[in-house]
Chains A and B, each alone.
Chain A
Amino acid sequence: MKSKKKIIVACGTGIATSTAVKSKIYDYLKEKGMNVEIDQCKISELKSQIENTKADLVVTTGPVGGNYNLPVVNGVSFLTGINEEKTLNEIISYLKT
């Protein structure tokens, strides 16, 4: 069986917006029957977090810069409610590959 997909949600301080975005993504994916593991961190810790968790995908609420060799999705739509569905589909498409 394929192992659980891993997502990292990152924001500036790793406490506020990433917390709200994390729970939204988790609930949405659960509704779609997808069980994923979601970690959260500060954007400054992103590099080491990716190495430690072997994540498949990163969702951020702020500028990350750099190249991470994995898909990085802008998750601000989960905070504004505008284009949430589009972002969610983008996340799902990356998880299915």
Chain B
Amino acid sequence: MKKTFIDLDLINLNLEAQDKIEAIKILSGKLYEKGKVKTSFFNAVLDREKKFPTGLKTKFISFALPHADSKHVNSAGVAVGLLKKPVKFKSMEDPDNNVNVKLIVLLAVKDKSKQVIVLQNLIKMMQNKITTQNILSSNDDKELLLLFQNNLFVKNNNY
């Protein structure tokens, strides 16, 4: 799974977007080019985001986890965008508030039982001071890719 789940084509350092819609469109396009999601995925993500926003803020990073129902997904993966300029997402905690998001992790979830570890590790990464510092100071796509590859698939990653 590791090799196909995320690769260099799905990493976007210095992502430039006017707003969350443009950012999600670019990242959805990357997943689509890889055959990971169906054409319906992009609209399904926007629709879900309206009803159930995914902007989150840990102590160390503001990020968003947009996703859609697995019927719009062909195979599991993530597209990662580190934004040049943050974009606003509604907050998951309180949809009346906005979060200025610096990192977008667009999830294509196919089978949740197989992706539990990845989802757990993703949340752990966002709550880890060093990891988030490394993400935010990545110099190129490769560096950013390695951070995700090295952390997402770890088993029993207690911190």
B120 contacts the other chain (CB 8 A): yes
> Roughly how many angstroms separate A23 CA and B95 CA in the complex, as a whole number?
24
Minimum CB–CB distance from B19 to chain A (whole Å) comes to 20
Q: Which residues of A contact B54 (CB under 8 A)?
A: 17
Q: Which residues of B contact A17 (CB under 8 A)?
A: 54, 65, 92
- Among B63-81, those with CB < 8 Å from A are 65, 67-70
Q: Which residues of B contact A19 (CB under 8 A)?
A: 112, 115-116, 119
Q: Are B65 and A15 in contact (CB under 8 A)?
A: no
- Name A residues whose Cβ lies closer than 8 Å to a Cβ of B: 11-17, 19-20, 23-24, 43, 61-63, 74, 76-82
Total A-B residue contacts, Cβ distance less than 8 Å? 73
- Among B107-157, those with CB < 8 Å from A are 107, 109, 112, 115-116, 119-120, 122-123, 126-127
Chain A residue at smallest Cβ distance from B48: A12
Contact partner of B56 (CB less than 8 A), chosen from A11, A23, A80, is A80
Contact partner of A16 (CB less than 8 A), chosen from B51, B58, B65, B93, is B65
* Category for how many chain B residues contact A: 20 to 34
> Roughly how many angstroms separate A80 CA and B57 CA in the complex, as a whole number?
6
Q: Are A15 and B109 in contact (CB under 8 A)?
A: yes
Q: Which residues of B contact A74 (CB under 8 A)?
A: 93
> Roughly how many angstroms separate A26 CA and B107 CA in the complex, as a whole number?
23
- Among B18-65, those with CB < 8 Å from A are 48, 51-54, 56-59, 65
A12-B51, A43-B52 known; 10 new pairs, CB 8 Å cut-off, are A13-B67, A13-B70, A14-B112, A16-B119, A19-B116, A19-B119, A23-B120, A80-B56, A80-B93, A80-B127
> Roughly how many angstroms separate A20 CA and B119 CA in the complex, as a whole number?
6
A12-B48, A15-B67, A81-B127 in contact; A76/B115 too (CB < 8 A)? Answer: no
Q: Are A76 and B52 in contact (CB under 8 A)?
A: no
> Roughly how many angstroms separate A79 CA and B54 CA in the complex, as a whole number?
11
Q: Are A11 and B52 in contact (CB under 8 A)?
A: yes
Q: Which residues of B contact A12 (CB under 8 A)?
A: 48, 51-52
> Roughly how many angstroms separate A79 CA and B93 CA in the complex, as a whole number?
10
Q: Which residues of A contact B70 (CB under 8 A)?
A: 13, 15
Minimum CB–CB distance from A31 to chain B (whole Å) comes to 11
Q: Are B52 and A16 in contact (CB under 8 A)?
A: no
